[in-house]
Structure 1
Amino acid sequence: MGSPFSALPSRARPRERLLSEGREALSDTELLALQLRSGTTGASASDLATALLAEFGSLRRLGEATVEELARLPGVGNAKACSVVAAFELGRRLPLDDQPEVSLARASDVAQRARHSLAGLRRERAIVFVCDRRARLLHEVQLSQGTAARSLIEVREVLNAVLRHDGAAFGLAHNHPSGDPRPSQADVELTQDVASAAKTVGLRFLGHIVIAGDEWAEVKIRPSQRRLG
């Protein structure tokens, strides 16, 4: 296996540069190499990081890659792939902690909150935004992550997520990896069932949002369409 950075002069090693010069001084390749930690036969961690960036073309596209997509590339494997995906996911979640109090009073609020977590993902993911009685956000709960084509969301899962976190209101959002934000018939039927179930247990349903890239759409249902269970 290629040595991580030992073949480099100490002043050129990413770890030493991070310690002496700070994180801002490191290039994208050097930061990625630190996540990979080691290389492979005939290639250093820096070489592998360079190859990954070249393969995906940009940090954004690399950040959208799944563990499976990364792991099958030469020299990566499951451990390195998990480390890279975890680092990008932490970065994706970071801005969500910057706002001590967030109100989701309308569908557009849910959409703006969901966009950062869901835009650009290549697999479908569903999130429940658990709120208090004043629609202030308490928790974000990831329900599921499906294939590129579909995600399986159960009404019981949605309600359990809200009740488990002592919520009184909630919004639901998922993404369409296809890039088309228009709700499917399955989305409409799910929304009908969720709205009906929420009413039954006394929860306020703030709406269901579909995210596709930078676009979003609310899943609309008429009052007469709401199922009574």
Structure 2
Amino acid sequence: MSTPIAKLPIAQRPRERLLALGPQALSDNELLALLLGQGRRGASALELAAELIADHGGVAGLAAARPEELARRTGVGAAKAATLVAAFQLACRARSEPDPAPRLLGSDDLARVAAPLFAGARVERMLVLVCDARHRLRRTVFVAEGAIDRVAVPVREILSAVLRHDGRGFAVAHNHPSGDPRPSDDDRRASTLLRLAAETVGLRFLDHVVLAGDRWASAAPLDPDE
């Protein structure tokens, strides 16, 4: 029979251990159990936490799980799934660029700022990084999800996002869930399209970076002869 957390000795309860010893003293299962709050019939929150971590191959795999995937698990549901996804996203943001207005002076700056925002993404997404006249970041906006190519790239929506946030320039980033950051011809055509569109409305197109985990590559616009 499963033992509910409330019936464990006080010294073994995750919440009391955290308050007395700090979060570093808790195991992954204990930390996750605190987020879950409750288990399910026949399994405590600690046991449900252990199952989730094991089924996803560890905490990193669990952090990459989509909300609907977690919600289907007996004992989790939509509310707990949202709590878990929100907690992992906050942790990801806490590790991201501490400067609220970093300058995007090169592809490496763009990749460093954008990469944490794609943590756990399993489909292609496109991010717009809106900058001021000195290339300082003003806002980040996701504008598309799914395959990104010459036809699908939402040029109008990208330009609208930049102008709406008083940008003077912009860069874009998207991910390759395949793990290969090498830009395709369609990626480079998208860069060409964005550069030309930016010129027509007096904006500066800075760069287009393709991300794949901790690797990245710049998708340079195509030369006229290509």
What's the TM-score once normalised by structure 2's chain length?
0.88
- For these two proteins, the number of residue pairs brought into alignment is 222
Whichever residue aligns with residue 110 of structure 1, its letter is L
> Which residue of structure 2 aligns with residue 59 of structure 1?
59
Aligned-partner Cα distance in 1 for 2:174–2:213: 12
For the Cα contact (< 8 Å) 1:130–1:171, is it kept in 2?
yes
Unaligned runs of 5+ in 1: none
Q: CA deviation at 1:83?
A: 1.2
The CA deviation string for residues 13-32 of structure 1, in whole angstroms up to 9 with x for no partner, is: 22222222222222211111
Does residue 68 (structure 1) correspond to residue 68 (structure 2)? The answer is yes
What aligned pairs does 1:94-109 form with structure 2 within 5 A after superposition? Answer: 94-96=94-96, 98-109=98-109
Aligned-partner Cα distance in 1 for 2:119–2:32: 22
Q: CA deviation at 1:153?
A: 4.0
For the Cα contact (< 8 Å) 1:120–1:212, is it kept in 2?
no
For the Cα contact (< 8 Å) 1:127–1:172, is it kept in 2?
yes
> Which residue of structure 1 aligns with residue 20 of structure 2?
20
Aligned-partner Cα distance in 2 for 1:4–1:89: 29
* Aligned residues with identical type, % of pairs: 50
Does residue 224 (structure 1) correspond to residue 193 (structure 2)? The answer is no
The farther-off stretch of 48-57 and 180-189 is 180-189
Q: CA deviation at 1:63?
A: 0.8
Aligned-partner Cα distance in 1 for 2:144–2:45: 33
What aligned pairs does 1:108-119 form with structure 2 within 5 A after superposition? Answer: 108-119=108-119
Aligned-partner Cα distance in 2 for 1:3–1:140: 46
Mark the CA change 1:92 to 1:145 in structure 2 (over 3 Å): closer, same or farther.
farther
> Which residue of structure 2 aligns with residue 181 of structure 1?
181
> Which residue of structure 2 aligns with residue 85 of structure 1?
85
> Which residue of structure 2 aligns with residue 122 of structure 1?
122
The farther-off stretch of 16-25 and 32-41 is 16-25
Q: CA deviation at 1:68?
A: 2.1
Aligned-partner Cα distance in 2 for 1:136–1:102: 5
Q: CA deviation at 1:179?
A: 1.0
For the Cα contact (< 8 Å) 1:36–1:80, is it kept in 2?
yes
> Which residue of structure 1 aligns with residue 40 of structure 2?
40
Aligned-partner Cα distance in 1 for 2:179–2:73: 26
The farther-off stretch of 67-76 and 31-40 is 67-76
Unaligned runs of 5+ in 2: none
> Which residue of structure 2 aligns with residue 214 of structure 1?
214
What's the TM-score once normalised by structure 1's chain length?
0.87
For the Cα contact (< 8 Å) 2:14–2:26, is it kept in 1?
yes
The CA deviation string for residues 143-172 of structure 1, in whole angstroms up to 9 with x for no partner, is: 2333xxx25541122112212221111110
The farther-off stretch of 97-106 and 163-172 is 97-106
Whichever residue aligns with residue 186 of structure 1, its letter is D
Whichever residue aligns with residue 9 of structure 2, its letter is P
After superposition, the CA RMSD in angstroms is 2.3
- Off by >4 Å, runs of 4+ in structure 1: none
Aligned-partner Cα distance in 1 for 2:119–2:181: 11
Aligned-partner Cα distance in 1 for 2:4–2:202: 56
The farther-off stretch of 71-80 and 193-202 is 71-80
